[in-house]
Amino acid sequence: MGSEVRAVSAEQVALRDRLIDAGHLIPSGVDGVYGHSAAFEDLREALGTRISAEARTRGATRLTFPPVLPVRQLEATGYLANMPHLAGTVFSFDGDDAAAAVQGTRASAHEDWSEFQAPTGVALMPAACYPVYPALARRGPLPAAGAFIDAGGAWVFRHEPSTDPARRQIFHQHELVRAGTPETVLQWRAQWAQLGLDLLTGLGLEARLDRANDPFFGRRGRLLAANQRAQELKLELLVPIAGPEPTACASFNHHLDHFSSTFAITGAGDDPVHTACLGFGHERIVLALLARHGLDPDRWPAEVQDRLGAPR
Amino acid sequence: MSETTREQIRDVIGAHANLPVDIRELGDAADLFAAGMTSFASVNVMLGLEDTFDVEFPDTMLKRSVFASVDAILEALEALGVALV
């Protein structure tokens, strides 16, 4: 629990090496930052299409956001206090000709050039649902049925370099967001916990649902995590990928009024507005499928290929 | 005459719990979470108590029930060796 560095198992490192040898992962030299093979991306895109189709048939509206967030929005959410160790903010050059020359010289020698950098006002996206809340607030009061948004598979950044191929610094998180009355949101989360479980087990994965907490930072984080567990605000779908510990491949988060009060999302009547989100980890699910069915998707069971809708 | 420990606890709650009601309207056993204290506000109450009473709550006490009422907080402070007044 909390912000401790997670131990990496020998099985996880061995899987990463096999994936690199097979060409599915293209190492960058930085842990947790990889390119993907065409086969990997075909699977990831098929998965995203499948999730979006499930959401669309249940009334979701698709919105797309870039992988950076205005820093002011990040500041408003409390993320920089609650998960400061995961945040990545974007800096850029701020100086004159002389400073540019020194920066260039130091950079060529791989020395520290950070003193010439200044904040740009944007941060890397920490969670793909974050831009959805201010976008909902801009629309004015929610309709009576609330809102259901599919933010698609979007790039998110978490500063937690690891040799576990399932723990990326940058990856695709496919977020579905529901806003509405407390009862509406709770029912939606229960419905999608089952749909998510059915989706993954239907692909041949041994998924199970469990109570979880966010990786909040430090001592304040321990209390936040304990509160989150006591209130059952976060559930995860755990799937074996490599090693004895299963990996969270999807999470279901009930925010109560945290985002609706932060961004002033109002309802149709007097009922308070709550929000919840469901995030599928695209790469983790693809990794789980490759670990389960083998590194050559052409040789997977036809049933799994059909259910994923993967190109053959 | 200085404040009693309960009054000091109530001052911290009043300053940090961000309750929609006045802390004076709540009894010592009243559930602060039920009264509207959020999880994030409870962290500020925890930090405020540490400042006021010069203690550090151990990991085993960083849980919801410890900060759920004036009585629960009093019991926790006593367990940490705070002399009650």
pLDDT of residue A5: 66
Contact: B40, A223; criterion CB under 8 Å: no
**pLDDT-derived band at A256, boundaries 50, 70, 90:** very high
For residue B25, what is the domain's CATH number? 1.10.1200.10
Please report whether residue B37 resides in a domain: yes
Q: Report the candidate in B43, B53, B55 with the shortest Cα–Cα distance to residue B16.
A: B43
- pLDDT over 90, % of chain A: 93
Contact B38 A78 (CB under 8 A): no
Could you tell me the two tokens for A166?
């399932």
* Residue B52, domain extent: 5-79
CB of B32 within 8 Å of a chain A CB? The answer is: no
Q: Which of B18, B32, B40 to mutate to test the interface with A (most CBs of A within 10 A)?
A: B40
Answer yes or no: are the C-beta atoms of A131 and A103 closer than 8 Å. no
Question: What is the arithmetic mean of pLDDT over A62-90?
Answer: 96
Q: Which residue of B has its CA nearest to A226?
A: B63
B17 inside domain: yes
Cβ separation of B42 and A258 shorter than 8 Å?
Answer: no
Would B84 be classed as within a structural domain? no
Number of structural domains found in chain B: 1
A223 at interface of B, judged by CB pairs closer than 8 A: yes
Task: For residues B5 and A12, give the distance between their C-alpha atoms in angstroms, rounded to a whole number.
Answer: 52
Indicate whether A157 pLDDT > 70.
yes
The answer to whether residues A267 and A257 touch, using CB atoms and an 8 Å cutoff, is no
Q: Burial letters for A190-217: b for 16+ Cβ neighbours within 10 Å, e otherwise? A: eebbebbbebbeebbbebeeeebbbbbb
Look at residue A4 in the predicted model and tell me its pLDDT: 56
Residues of chain B scoring pLDDT < 50: 1
Q: What value does the mean pLDDT of chain A take?
A: 95
Residue B25 lies in a domain: yes
Strand runs labelled E in chain A: 25-27, 34-36, 61-62, 68-70, 89-93, 117-124, 147-157, 170-180, 208-211, 234-239, 247-256, 274-281
Nearest CA distance, B16 vs chain A (angstrom)? 14
B29 CB within 8 Å of a chain A CB:
no
Q: Which of B39, B62, B63 is facing A219, going by the closest CB pair? A: B62
- Among candidate residues B51, B47, B25, the one with its CA nearest the CA of residue B36: B25
Cβ <8 Å between A223 and B46: yes
A247: which residues sit within 8 A by CB, 6+ positions away?
A166, A238, A239, A240, A241, A284, A287, A288
Q: Is residue B10 part of a domain?
A: yes
CATH number assigned to the domain covering A10-87+126-308: 3.30.930.10
Mean pLDDT of A151-179: 97
Q: Please name every residue paired with A277 in a beta bridge, in sequence order, or none if there are none.
A: A177, A253
Judged against a pLDDT cut of 70, whether residue A203 lies above it is answered with yes
Give the residues across from B49 on adjacent strands: none
pLDDT band at A309 (very low <50, low <70, confident <90, very high): confident
Q: Per-domain residue ranges for chain A?
A: 10-87+126-308, 89-125
